[in-house]
Structure 1
């Protein structure tokens, strides 16, 4: 007898981010893995959420935290319901402000044979040189990556895996983040830096193209399968709009000079790490 496979969708929406939930839910119900049973785990401080009485929606109460703690501690948040998550075949996390715009099939999105995780290429760094990737470069951090290591830069906003692999990764990254915090360290791009370190040298990770996390406010050449919605679309945010137009040109010029200087430094550090044979091992999972 054929059994329908299931995927647990982990969704965090505290404060005003709950405003994105209805559109997210309706679009993913319609287009995301139509042949799969979808179970939504919504971590929120909202008293009520859209469709909370539906059988495939489970609301989990959490306290709001200031940024970047809400994103940094997401793996700890997931593990609050580890027993429940173990009942799913697959698990995925998505940022709150996403819309699934087209039909997404298991074959194109989920890990393939001999793979256990799927991660999404960061649209801002797709196709760029490794020395331009904003990896964590401090050796004191558990997310440290030498300049001559790494092949991809992935976004922290969209990833999935088998439930076993996803939970193991969550435990490992929770541990690594806590180890950094003991030393008063937060990795450069928080959980995203930790995720990028985690996948280095792992042969069982599928790297998806950026079409599964199409950026807000950018026109890029790949299809718009899953895309980010502007906060202004929900919050009516127009803070400082138009106030700094005269300063922007000066700022762009300064940033251009700074970027050129930084690129010289990055090439130098890449050369040093290459000559010295800097390397890192694959991260072993926490049990």
Structure 2
């Protein structure tokens, strides 16, 4: 027995190394996301008494210093919306006085319609823009499959038929053209505000009038604590989405909005970028999201939503996420795409 001990001792470092590799494979992403959460965010560059340079006049009611743990305004003076900064009743009252209404666009194409649309709409009825008139514009290639949803007073649903495309990347990119067309033909005559959301999400809490603004972008849940050097901007010189600078934030294309004019400007610009890329035989790294990030770098949003407004559970615990307003639904990319 004793003669085998040296061999066991020689094998021990290899066993330890293999065990460490297996441990990192299964827990590495979790550990990395936890460590990212410890990286402090930048702080609002304004001082008490200073006012925002961007945003709606009602945003003057925000308490930018109620959240010392997160960045509550940008360096161009736009608010970053977090729980604890605002009184929802103040926003709701003001927007009811203005007669504000909202168009919500969502694409439910192919298998995504059956997998996600029904729960998306039911949860939106509970949590999206409570007390305001809303029209859901459902873009789908199978209008006959859109089931009935019980809608509240002042809430309506319209189905917009779109062409079925083979690649999900093409669906993602071509939605910009469809949204711009819908704004031109329908939305601008009916609603001052537009929000554009992905369908594979579920509302879990208030997503209300405090989110409205001239031009609204969303901090990506996976990137808001990361250093800018790790943002996955498109860097391909041949792409119209190429980012040459460090950028400001990494924005998530699952949620964006604003006035109908601002959203039309954004979607039209992103579509032109997609067309230019196709002409040059390239595709942006993250399709329309890459073009959206380029647009918001050049045209700063007037309001930024925190990741509360589109949270992914598998990011893990984050002390700065006090509420979740919209959650990623469980993804089934292997079957849906």
Q: 1:205 to 1:220 in 2, by over 3 A?
A: farther
Residue 248 of structure 2 is matched in structure 1 by 151
In the TM superposition, residue 172 of structure 1 has moved relative to its aligned partner by 1.2
> For each residue in 1:172-220, what CA deviation from the matched residue of structure 2 results, as whole angstroms up to 9, or x when unmatched?
1111111111001111100000000001143443221111111153323
Q: SS at the partner of 2:330?
A: coil
Where in structure 1 do 4 or more consecutive aligned residues deviate above 4 Å? 52-55, 235-238
Could you tell me whether the CA contact under 8 Å between 1:4 and 1:35 is conserved in 2? no
- Tell me the equivalent position of 1:181: 278
Greater Rg, structure 1 or structure 2?
Answer: 2
Q: CA offset at residue 70 of structure 1? A: 0.3
User: By how many angstroms is 1:7 displaced?
Assistant: 0.7
Number of residue pairs the alignment of both structures matches: 230
Name the residue aligned to 1:74.
Answer: 175
Equivalent-residue separation in structure 2 for 1:53 and 1:225 (angstroms): 21
Question: Would you say 1:93 and 2:188 are equivalent positions?
Answer: no
State the alpha-carbon separation in 1 of the partners of residues 255 and 102 from structure 2: 14
Partner residue, 1:160: 257
User: Does the residue aligned with 1:171 lie in a helix, a strand or coil?
Assistant: helix
Q: In the aligned structure 2, how far is the partner of 1:129 from the partner of 1:227?
A: 24
Question: Structure 1 CA distance, aligned partners of 2:226 and 2:106?
Answer: 30
Identify the range of structure 1 (25-34 vs 74-83) with the bigger mean alpha-carbon deviation.
74-83
Matched, 1:63 2:163: yes
- Whether the 8 Å contact between 1:52 and 1:58 is mirrored in structure 2 is no
Q: Map 1:1-287 to 2 at 5 A.
A: 2=97, 4-19=99-114, 20-46=116-142, 47-51=144-148, 56-65=156-165, 66-81=167-182, 82-86=184-188, 87-107=190-210, 109-111=211-213, 116-146=214-244, 148-221=245-318, 222=321, 223-232=323-332
Tell me: CA distance 1:32–1:78, structure 2 relative to 1, closer, same or farther (3 Å). Answer: same
Cα deviation per residue 1:104-126 (whole Å; 9 max; x = unaligned)? 2212x122xxxx21111111111
Q: How big is the shift at 1:52?
A: 6.8
Gaps of 5+ in 2: 1-95
Distance 1:68 1:216 in 2: 24
Point out the more displaced range, 218-227 or 85-94: 218-227
Q: What is the rounded CA distance, in whole Å, between the counterparts of 1:3 and 1:129 in structure 2?
A: 40
The two structures, once aligned, show a CA RMSD in angstroms of: 2.3
Aligned counterparts of 1:197 and 1:93: Cα–Cα separation in 2: 18
Could you state the TM-score of these two structures normalised by the residue count of structure 2?
0.64
Residue of structure 2 in register with 1:279 after alignment: none
TM-score (normalised: structure 1): 0.74
CA distance in 2 between partners of 1:153 and 1:33 (Å): 25
Distance in 1 between residues matched to 2:181 and 2:150, nearest whole Å:
21
Distance 1:5 1:165 in 2: 16
- The alpha-carbon distance between structure 1 residues 158 and 136, as it changes in their structure 2 partners (threshold 3 A), is same
Find the aligned partners of 2:98 and 2:120 in 1 and give their Cα distance: 26
User: Does the 8 Å contact 2:229/2:246 carry over to 1?
Assistant: no
Q: CA deviation at 1:236?
A: 10
